Structure 1
């Protein structure tokens, strides 16, 4: 019988689907420390984790461990070298939230461009009631048609966002990965610009790149200064791609038209400058771009399938 341990069920929105093969299931709502992770996984054959880091020490202490099923696409929480050394397989879930994230990006763009939240707040504050005309001017409204959307990150999520944006008339450009644009990127058929050019020319910039040492703080004061004063910045990727205080300063100074943020450097946030910013066209959502009802259904099904396939000797979505 396989011992299956879930380390952070509270992050996975709903009851996980249990596999059909014989097993013992132990589920923890949250695991907050490495010491807890070591104690809880020492007898596990299969480990399910979303955000709990699985270090070499955790892996070393879990003498029976065969599989780490990451309940996310990114696997940076797992020490993959330690897994290879111990021959512990790692799998993940993939492409379950592609449409959900793309729709969230478009929702943020539309809401910011049309001032939906700003108009709502000013209406609820009594400005419409106090107006002497039927349609008071409570903030600019822009059409997204013919806006240029600059996408940083041409992977699955970036391209899905581009497809949806094109359907409403936006023009798409992508950023080169670095200033030394390589030949493969030149031949991939996508219209690309170097990042400084993309920032300067785009009406909306949407981030879809992974967080790496090279992309940490990718958008700071220098980059924001390149953008149009009417431009919008959208981040549904990773919070640390953007320097929060620089973004607050750009918004408050009128250097930037607005921002839609679904991710922060620390989640849940603590001492986050953006949460103290009251710019009328700053929208912050609590990392929910991935979590449509349809995406969650696919997420749960795929995670369960990963366990079933591994047990059947036909593993899928293998990372290492």
Structure 2
């Protein structure tokens, strides 16, 4: 009987020891230590993260012949995340998917296939065309369109056409001009100028009392190639000096003298013209008198002949 009791006690002590060793080993396996990465809740040195902090996904990366767990805020390309009360996992997408929402719904296809209703296909339906940029089956682009968002909105036009509001134009509308760099219709920019400055000082020209003054204005906005050009930014007009010096007085005297000379010359020419006119009138009067005399003489000779005949 005593031997049985001793045996039972020994078994109980062994079980307690074994249980203690198991908890110690398990604690060492799951403790956070040098082998853990950021975001891990539990980990091991050989397998990395075993569980993650809340809201993070555990992802198994292959390292040679073994898998190494890491915790991520979102799953990498080619994987999708699933959440559960126990843990959040990253699962691999289907082989034809580049990215996916779940195993049965692709969001982007690998090169060579095109997305349509969550599936990746090598050929698009008859009413759609493949887009190598989007890797999707899309509606045909508008006319003269090289790439588009849909059948109504172009994103790039063919050569010789310019994009405006999602449409391709051979000639840009009024108030727009074509940009060869971006192949778009861009708004025209017209020149804008500021207000005129005050008139400057009167700068004398030569020795006269008359001169020239000017004013300017600035260009506020330079025009685009097809915009309205800038008007003149410099304006000049004749002016008269308020004060004239000695030299100016002499100049005025010379100008008056020249005017008088021109006046005298004009008057002299008038007198000579009048004299020539009087001479022409006298000459004409003399000719008329000679003509009358000759006519009278012919009349008298005619009368004399008539008298002799009677």
Relative to the length of structure 2, the TM-score reads 0.16
Say which one has the larger Rg: 2
Instruction: Decide which structure has greater helix share.
Output: 1
Q: What is the TM-score with the length of structure 1 in the denominator? A: 0.15
Q: Which has the higher contact order (CA 8 A, sep 6+)?
A: 1
